[in-house]
Amino acid sequence: RKEVEQDPGPFNVPEGATVAFNCTYSNSASQSFFWYRQDCRKEPKLLMSVYSSGNEDGRFTAQLNRASQYISLLIRDSKLSDSATYLCVVRKNTNAGKSTFGDGTTLTVKP
Amino acid sequence: DGGITQSPKYLFRKEGQNVTLSCEQNLNHDAMYWYRQDPGQGLRLIYYSQIVNDFQKGDIAEGYSVSREKKESFPLTVTSAQKNPTAFYLCASSMRVSGGSYNEQFFGPGTRLTVL
């Protein structure tokens, strides 16, 4: 079993749709959690950190459930520009913040 | 501008040759990392370094070597011992904060290595 698992998709949604991505992690010692966005043939870029209380940034909402070792990302009112691969990342705050990446979930937003 | 640079963007290598990928950051970040990404897959950690003149193996270090002689530089050598070196190589860095933890990682634009 991989340490971080994501539904690979692809998710194909129309503009304006709401879409949710899930991520599970196996290491209960994980302390920090992130969502990154990666466009085709580009480097990953930080989308948002995920806090225990849940956090929102515009159309994006991230939630963490430590008991179930589960992270989610909700995108509301999808835009064409949201089309990308979304990477779930978990980290222990030791070993230089060594992070484990999920394989990513691919989203395509269609007009 | 502050950031992470990687060069070259594309690199072609013949089998049996060693090649070195450059990674430089001017963010004054303490830690630096090298990842490999294969098509349709996530990032796998090759090596990381928390401080100058010190580095640790990641999950897939075999066939790779690194050095950290300066805080801002963390070059990666792909040796001929690496069996399947064709991949997208990403360098990242992060800042150590109080309490010994680290901020999020920031990535360079990557180097695409193709072995002919």
Residue B21 has pLDDT above 90, yes or no: yes
pLDDT at position A28 is 84
Arithmetic mean of pLDDT, A19-41: 93
- Average pLDDT over every residue of A15-25: 96
The identity of residue A37, as a single letter, is R
Of the listed ranges A2-6, A28-32, B24-28, the least confidently predicted one is: A28-32
Given a cut of 80, whether residue B99 has pLDDT beyond it is: no
Reported confidence tier of residue B2, pLDDT bands at 50, 70, 90: low
- What residues of chain B lie within 8 A of the CB of A10, using their CB? none
What does B92-104 look like in DSSP terms, one character per residue? EEE-B-GGG-B--
pLDDT of residue B81: 86
Separation between Cα atoms, residue B25 and residue A39, nearest integer Å: 22
Q: What pLDDT does B25 receive?
A: 97
Q: What is the mean pLDDT of residues A3-32?
A: 92
Q: Is B47 helix (H, G, I), strand (E, B) or coil?
A: strand
Q: Which two tokens stand for residue B78?
A: 């792909």
* pLDDT recorded at residue A9: 85
Residue B43 at interface with chain A, using a CB cutoff of 8 Å: yes
* Per-residue confidence band for B41, with pLDDT thresholds at 50, 70 and 90: confident
Is A80 touching B (CB cutoff 8 A)? no
Q: How many Å apart are CA A65 and CA A43, to the nearest integer?
A: 28
In angstroms, the CA B95 to CA B24 distance is: 14
Residue B32 has pLDDT above 90, yes or no: yes
Q: How would residue B1 be classed by pLDDT, with cut points 50, 70 and 90?
A: low
What is the mean predicted confidence (pLDDT) over B83-106? 90
Cα(A66)–Cα(A64) distance, rounded to whole angstroms? Answer: 6
- Whether the pLDDT of residue A94 is over 90: the answer is no
Locate all alpha helices (DSSP H) within chain B, ordered by sequence: none
- 3-state SS assignment for residue A50: strand
Q: Residue B93: which of B58, B48, B45 has the closest Cα? A: B48
Q: Is the pLDDT of residue A14 over 80?
A: yes
B100/A93 Cβ within 8 A: yes
Q: Is there a contact between A101 and B31 if contact means CB atoms under 8 Å apart?
A: no
Q: Tens of pLDDT along A73-87?
A: 999 999 999 999 999
Query: A60: pLDDT confidence band, cut at 50, 70 and 90?
Result: very high
pLDDT score for B89: 98
* Beta-strand runs (E) in chain B: 4-7, 10-13, 19-25, 31-37, 43-51, 54-57, 64-66, 76-78, 87-94, 106-107, 111-115
- Nearest CA to CA, how far is A15 from chain B (Å)? 24
Q: What is the mean pLDDT of chain B?
A: 93
pLDDT at B100 over 80: no
Predicted confidence at residue A110, as pLDDT, reads: 96
The set of residues, in sequence order, having a beta carbon less than 8 Å from that of B98 and lying 6+ positions away, is: none
Residue B49: what pLDDT? 95
The answer for residues whose C-beta is within 8 angstroms of residue A27's C-beta and 6 or more apart is A3, A90, A92, A100
